[in-house]
Amino acid sequence: MEQALQNGQMTATEEKDLIALCGDLSKRFAERAADYDRQATWPIKDYEDLKKAGLLGIMVPKEKGGLGASFLTYTKAQEQLSSGAASTGLTFNMHNITAGILSESKTEDIGGTRGKAMNDFRDWALNEIVNGHKMFASANSEPGIGAHFSALKTTYRKVDGGYVINGYKMFVSMLGYADYYVVAARREQSSGDLPEISFFIVELDNPGIEVEEVWDTMGMRATVSNNMKLKDCFVSQDRLFLGTEGLGIYKLTREPHWVIGGYVGTYLGLCQATFDYMISHLQKKKIPGSDQSVINRDWVQRDVGKLAVQLEATRELVYKAARLVDEQRGTPQTNAAIHHSKYMVSEFAPKLASDAIRLCGGSGIARALPLERFYRDARCAGLMPATSDECLLYAGKSALGFDLTHIEETYW
């Protein structure tokens, strides 16, 4: 009998088959990516493929009807999917931030009213994903503060039967296309330097939200990350995330891997796509005035070799961090490794794309070819949480011995 992976849910053969499936899907995504990017439209056919393949439940445990992937397996799957279309990979990760957090949550041993609320919420959400084929998105970032939860201006207050939310969100990926949105808000009149942050599920057709279609950016255009207004937006009690108020900053501080590490596989896949295109282009390129290929030049070989080493080193760092999440979730070593990998891939992706354009020459900037899109998408990597500067701050504090389980020491 095959040995299960670390989380005891997916066998080695199942993992191999899953990665192969994602590789096949990435080829279809790549054929459509340029059109979706140019028009800044939602990659509807990509998501038809993802749903048909049952991948919306990639992180959901098998006993709940999902595929039961580990964090490492998910990272490898993301790498494959994103090599075909980085925007699709990024939005797929936004869905899995919710699915992954819920799948990791151990609510069965919590008793009482709180335990029942947590279990009911988790069962409802996972069922919506697996059997309802529903997608979840995150609505966290706000103008001027990004995803710094301690500075959120969106508020909520308790009312009969639920909560009322007021605020404004930006960069809400999949807005208008996802079925549910996880909205972060602070409790009105919460005291102290650190406000009480809670999460709520808001359905797409909630009359209290308004979509502002403003998305027209340099890169990641097919994420369709529009803005959301919430005005007296009512959500029922059972749509409080895991049935518990105040989870926000504490969860992010102690186990930041989903909000940060989920992006890493996306940008690693983009790096691989960039490298593969560069190699293919150089193999066909001739030395001016000659029939000889440019790959015979020593300096080309050295430059390509340097990028190959850097790509492999980045991949190993990414895989190491993901493996630690599976084996030692939430430890200082794991949390530091996630920040290390996010910084490395965020900084390497645009450098790789820039060097690839230099090596490939003037044709590299042609809109008919994918390299200029790779470059634009790669430039966005360091902006996603945690930003490159925040990753360095975290890494420095970790190396200096700061206790990063203390909320006041984090950048949130």
CATH no. for residue 224?
2.40.110.10
- Does the residue 6 lie in any domain? no
Q: Is 184 part of any domain?
A: yes
Residue where one domain finishes, among candidates 134, 167, 199 = 134
Residue 152 domain-assigned (yes or no): yes
Would the pLDDT of 108 be above 70? Answer: no
Task: Count the helix, strand and coil residues of the chain and give each as a percent rounded to the nearest 5.
Answer: 55, 15, 30
Q: What is the largest CA-CA distance in the chain?
A: 79
In the structure, how many helices (H) and strands (E) does the chain have? 11, 7
Which residue from 284, 149, 159, 174 is spatially nearest to 228, judged by alpha carbons?
174
**How far is residue 397's CA from residue 404's CA, in Å, rounded to a whole number?**
8
- Confirm whether 5 is domain-assigned: no
> Closest by alpha carbon to 68, among 103, 96, 40, 32?
103
Determine, yes or no, domain membership for 1: no
pLDDT given for residue 375 in this prediction: 98
Q: Please check whether residue 80 lies inside any domain of the structure.
A: yes
The string of pLDDT tens digits covering residues 347-387 is: 999 999 999 999 999 888 899 999 999 999 999 999 999 99
pLDDT at residue 206, rounded to an integer: 98
Is 74 found in the same domain as 153? Answer: no
For residues 178 and 122, state if they share a domain.
no
Whether 270 has a pLDDT exceeding 60, the answer reads yes
Cα(150)–Cα(128) distance, integer angstroms: 30
Q: What angle do CA 138, 211, 81 make, to 5 degrees?
A: 45
Question: Are residue 285 and residue 384 in the same domain, yes or no?
Answer: yes
Average pLDDT value for the chain:
93
Structure tokens at 382: 């360091």
What is the rounded CA–CA span in Å between residue 41 and residue 373?
A: 15
**Per-residue pLDDT at 3:** 39
Give the pLDDT band of residue 7 (cuts 50, 70, 90): very low
Instruction: Decide if 405 contacts 252 (C-beta within 8 A).
Output: no
Q: Are residues 394 and 274 in the same domain?
A: yes
Query: Does one domain contain both 101 and 150?
Result: no
Same-domain check for residues 56 and 195: no
CA of residue 1 relative to chain centroid, distance: 34
Is the residue at 188 inside a domain?
A: yes
288 and 403 part of one domain: yes
CB 219, CB 377: distance < 8 Å: yes
Residue 184 neighbours by CB distance under 10 Å: 25
What's the pLDDT at 168? 97
* Residues 125 and 208 placed together within one structural domain of the fold: no
Residues 404 and 271 in one domain: yes
User: Which one of 134, 163, 181 terminates a domain?
Assistant: 134
| CA distance from start to end of the chain | 45
Which amino acid, 283? Answer: Q
- For residue 66, give the CATH number of its domain: 1.10.540.10
Q: How many domains are there within the chain? A: 3
Residue 32 CA to residue 84 CA, distance in Å, equals: 9
Show which of 92, 116, 134 is a domain's final residue.
Answer: 134
Counted residue by residue, the chain has a size of 412
Q: Is residue 262 part of a domain?
A: yes
**pLDDT digit string (tens) for 281-317?**
999 999 988 888 999 999 999 999 999 999 999 999 9
| pLDDT score of 109 | 61
Radius of gyration of the chain (CA): 22
* Stronger pLDDT, 389 or 192, i.e. the higher one: 389
**Would you say residue 193 has pLDDT above 80?**
no
Quote the pLDDT of residue 118.
87
Q: For residues 9 and 61, is the Cβ–Cβ distance under 8 A?
A: yes
Tell me if residue 139 falls in helix, strand or coil: strand
Q: Report residue 75: phi and psi, to 5°.
A: -60, -45
Residues 103 and 198 in one domain: no
Is there a single domain that holds both residue 62 and residue 180?
Answer: no
Q: What is the CATH number of the domain that holds 261?
A: 1.20.140.10
Q: Which domain holds residue 186?
A: 137-245
- 170 or 412: whose pLDDT is higher? 170
Residue pLDDT, tens place only, 53-105:
999 999 999 999 999 999 999 999 999 999 999 999 999 999 999 999 999 88
Same domain, 293 and 381: yes
Residue 379, classed as helix, strand or coil, is coil
